[in-house]
Structure 1
């Protein structure tokens, strides 16, 4: 790749874009002044990149057939065997298809990335393989992860593991399905608005969104740095805690990581909840899309915590209701500037940049009409806001998010955990092929109101299954203090051991 000096015509176009008026003499002068910098760019172009080495052999794998993949949960199957021993020896793991696995195709749910093959492994992939895990492949996710449903992927909808034709939740749709069906022991999801917890709620799995900056996001396609999280999705609490032990901690690359407090999370299991104080978050049951049966199932689960010895009562945090509104400018403008026009990364962060992804992802501009309706919606809105107001609303929302964080932290002075429905509703039916754009978008966003606030406050939050309604799982969410995932695991494990959630 060579950088050439702009032609006079190109420079005039750039000047106009910058609001500048240039004379012919100006053009000639600036072209001459640029030559030294152009030369510097070509020095960089000629140098090898600085990327982590790929440690474990693998093959590209294959796209499973519809017969092998009836719920469309898998994108690619590719076996990568890790170390001969370690904490995860004997465990199989699936990766959400926004996670880089070198040599294996990745699309992040979008046909605009068809043909892209990463050239290094995400930090968490290397850590799992070093711990003896076996990677089983890549699972489908929503189109650029911009949906809480499971119908926006370019390669078709992902179906609920308990009922065909119903949503699996998103955006980590396939990860929830393959864990729920027992096709793997563990999976990795991503969470910017609830995308680990929402599919866990709809599929009946355990999904932990760790504290922001606990688990490295390095080598995972970002949406927006302030809300990017990755974490475990499993069939048991023990496996969830075990996987977090392996993937947590600073990697020296991720700028999201500041001062993580890493623990041996499995040591919290088996201690019970006696003496713990749990606050039932009143506003979590008052969402616009709340279903009475879901609320009742979660309230009954709260009673079981009391039976197990915890102190349980109701707490009100009115600001929880405006959490989704605070999230909106951060998520919308962040994804527009970073993921889309920033070619996946943007600037001004000391990250490990995947330049191969950046180069390939630029191609969306030539295929924009093929983007999902949710991607089009958010990108147009973000562009309109930026053109009209600049980034002030992003900045103001981020400032206000600290007030929301403080509101939750005030409650955590009296309570060890907050409890509320993960999603206010159970899994809805997938939208029909001829659904209106309005229905398509509604099925993508209607479930995020309880999960999104904790992506901008960065508190750890875990979904655990607590019952069934009409043959579909109900998810209960436990939220804890920053870096106190062990407290969540302690309570979740006690609840899990108290009985079969499908019969509650």
Structure 2
């Protein structure tokens, strides 16, 4: 009976007042409501017992969860920028978190897509549904960026729940393209792309389930990479589906993209089921000068049919030709041919 009463008290009708647990008046009222017909002595005994149990629950709730990584770098909650300080509406939130004094990203400013947790900083994922949510932990890649000297200056705007490839569905309004503010930026990582393209940060993190890094990167003329599935841990980011979730780098140059990937990639000690212990991280930044001679590159023939525009076909064809000149082997539907 006592357990049943405690469950009722912990619900919407009754609330335990701090460490003292529910008071005698609460127990009396519940006794009347449930028609339990307890004696006054029984009610007093239950009140005392519930108080002790509540104290134990309170102590347990105050314990530090060992599974939550410690927040190593000081920060304040930051602020929501005024429109005049947010010309492309690309910032979801501004903050100032300086990482280690040295590292691969020392001197680099970084924006984090607002579907990724940064401890102490609001995370909305582009939707009003998450208003008021403030993570208490850093996503794994946020910790890695800070450990390598990165300077996180804010969260970038995203499409509502990251579920669009435009840049017009963010709950705070559209993200405008820095090259032409009458045009869309692409999504859902449009804020990250706009901030990089406008030179407001050196690099940014995007998320990609169906083109959400690649589309805004192409719309703004920057470099964006959707990494191999499971290469970059998704720990601490809002998921659409584990089979298609990716986090990846966005920057103005291939070199910066490779450097950021080198920092954020790698096994996350079992926290992300997308990964295996065999996940390895080459030094991508040092592989850029190795060339593409002998590499096999496939062109999907069907991608140039139906709705494909002639200008797009031309540009992709020119890129393929340059790869051939550099020594790569370019074939249509290479996977099918290999079979």
TM-score under structure 2 normalisation?
Answer: 0.79
Higher helix share: 1
Verify: 1:56 aligned to 2:78, yes or no: no
Structure 1 pair 108–304 and aligned structure 2 pair: CA distance change class (3 A): same
Structure-2 separation of matches of 1:148 and 1:65: 25
SS of residue paired to 2:112? strand
1:311, distance to aligned residue in structure 2 (A): 2.8
1:272, distance to aligned residue in structure 2 (A): 2.1
Which position in structure 2 is the counterpart of 1:176? 193
- Tell which structure's C-alpha radius of gyration is larger: 2
* Corresponding residue to 2:323 among 305, 329, 354: 305
Verify: 1:101 aligned to 2:118, yes or no: yes
* Corresponding residue to 2:7 among 5, 13, 18: 5
Structure-2 separation of matches of 1:210 and 1:287: 28
Which position in structure 2 is the counterpart of 1:201? 218
Which position in structure 2 is the counterpart of 1:158? 175
Which position in structure 2 is the counterpart of 1:133? 150
SS of residue paired to 1:209? coil
1:6, distance to aligned residue in structure 2 (A): 6.3
1:287, distance to aligned residue in structure 2 (A): 5.0
Which position in structure 2 is the counterpart of 1:265? 284
Structure 2 unaligned blocks of 5 or more: 10-52
Structure-2 separation of matches of 1:254 and 1:4: 36
Verify: 1:119 aligned to 2:136, yes or no: yes
Range that drifts further, 45-54 or 147-156: 45-54
Structure-1 separation of matches of 2:331 and 2:163: 35
SS of residue paired to 1:300? helix
SS of residue paired to 1:87? coil
Which position in structure 1 is the counterpart of 2:304? 285
Structure-1 separation of matches of 2:101 and 2:302: 48
Q: Give the alignment's Cα RMSD to 1 decimal.
A: 2.5
Are the equivalent residues in 1 in contact too, given 2:266–2:281 (CA < 8 A)? yes
1:105, distance to aligned residue in structure 2 (A): 1.2
Q: Deviation per CA, 1:451-472, whole angstroms, max 9, x where unpaired?
A: xxxxxxxxxxxxxxxxxxxxxx
* Corresponding residue to 1:146 among 147, 163, 171: 163
Range that drifts further, 213-222 or 296-305: 296-305
SS of residue paired to 1:75? strand
Structure-1 separation of matches of 2:143 and 2:81: 24
SS of residue paired to 1:67? helix
Are the equivalent residues in 1 in contact too, given 2:94–2:155 (CA < 8 A)? yes
Which position in structure 1 is the counterpart of 2:50? none
Structure-2 separation of matches of 1:45 and 1:83: 32
Report 1 or 2 for greater relative contact order, CA contacts < 8 Å, sequence distance ≥ 6. Answer: 1
Q: Deviation per CA, 1:344-373, whole angstroms, max 9, x where unpaired?
A: xxxxxxxxxxxxxxxxxxxxxxxxxxxxxx
Structure-2 separation of matches of 1:177 and 1:134: 18
Structure 1 unaligned blocks of 5 or more: 8-38, 317-407, 415-504
1:53, distance to aligned residue in structure 2 (A): 0.8
Which position in structure 2 is the counterpart of 1:210? 227
SS of residue paired to 2:168? coil
Verify: 1:249 aligned to 2:251, yes or no: no
Are the equivalent residues in 1 in contact too, given 2:267–2:280 (CA < 8 A)? no
1:254, distance to aligned residue in structure 2 (A): 1.2
